Amino acid sequence: MRSRPAFAVVVAACLATFAPANRANAADIDLMTTGAVEFILRDLIPPFEKATGHKVNMTVLGTVIAVERLKQGTPADLILLNPDVLSDLTKAGKVVPGSIVPVFHSRAGVAVKAGAPKPDISTVEAFKQALLKAKTVGHSTGVSGVHFTTNVIPRLGIADLIKDKVRISKGFPVGVLIAKGEAEIGIHQIAELLPIQGIDIVGELPAEIQTTLIYATGIHAGARQPDAARALSNYLQLESAAAAIRKNGMVPAPR
């Protein structure tokens, strides 16, 4: 087992990596990301700024909208989205090849309006029946919504049975639809459900239809501050970041 003094030395060395040798080199970093990781970043950006002297200007958009903006020429230094999306942006010339690094892992879950009966989702069949019984079903256009529509629904074989009651959130959490009563049951990432008032989280999708949703950083091909952007990406991978990541519904990507 690693001794506590030795571990302390390692942690100190990691933090020292980010200590600004010269505040004159501090940079403004433009970060483009999506709502799923917003609260993780709200917790981690202030200590990063304090440790480095850099300032992070974070833009939070739905994944689809973020990609549209980036392809239209919206500037950024660091992009934090799903790695498949980052790969597409690499092909479009918007992300530096070889710069994509996974930082967070996420899981999809189910929620209902606060105080409403929680359906049984303990098995695939129970979850299927919950969807069939619900008057309206909400999902997003992001990675959890793509998984739900392309993997889960076909496996359950109920696409035609629920197509008329599907409600889609674009650019905002599914929990908003649930809280407003516009979706009786909703599927979204746990991390995106946690901050929403007026809903109750039922739990994660059954293991057989669950997926690991990955978030990664990529350096923008037109980054004005690529070194500072890389420093932020590295900071998100530190062991000291794990508590904030877990608190906000995700886990660190394996190293």
Together in a domain, 155 and 226:
no
Q: Six-digit token pair at 5?
A: 């003094």
Number of domains in the chain: 2
What pLDDT is attached to residue 18? Answer: 54
Domain enclosing residue 85, as ranges = 4-104+215-252
Do 46 and 32 lie in a common domain?
yes
Whether residues 76 and 149 share a domain: the answer is no
Domain match, 114 and 67 both:
no
Clarify whether residues 97 and 19 are in a common domain. yes
H/E segment holding residue 31: strand 28-33
Per-residue pLDDT tens listing for the chain (255 residues): 333 333 333 333 444 455 554 455 789 999 999 988 999 999 999 999 999 999 999 999 888 889 999 999 999 999 999 999 999 999 999 999 999 999 999 999 999 999 999 999 999 999 999 999 999 999 998 889 999 999 999 999 999 999 999 999 987 899 999 999 999 999 999 999 999 999 999 999 999 999 999 999 999 999 999 999 999 999 999 999 999 999 999 999 998
Looking at 134-251, list the stretches that DSSP marks H as alpha helix, in order from N- to C-terminal side. 143-147, 153-156, 159-162, 174-180, 190-193, 226-236, 242-247
Q: Cβ contacts of residue 214 below 8 Å, gap of 6+?
A: 82, 83, 102, 104, 105, 106, 253
Whether residue 161 is found in the same domain as residue 191? yes
Whether 130 and 189 map to the same domain: the answer is yes
Judgement on whether residues 127 and 176 belong to the same structural domain of the protein? yes
Please check whether residues 129 and 174 belong to one and the same domain: yes
* SS3 of the chain: helix, strand, coil, percent, to 5: 45, 25, 30
Q: What CATH number does residue 23 fall under?
A: 3.40.190.10
Do 115 and 203 reside in the same domain of the chain? yes
Distance CA 101, CA 63 (A): 17
Pair (14, 90) in one structural domain: yes
Sequence-distant (6+) residues with CB within 8 A of 57 are 28, 29, 30, 31
Domain match, 18 and 88 both = yes
- Position 1 scores a pLDDT of 38
For residue 162, the SS3 value is helix
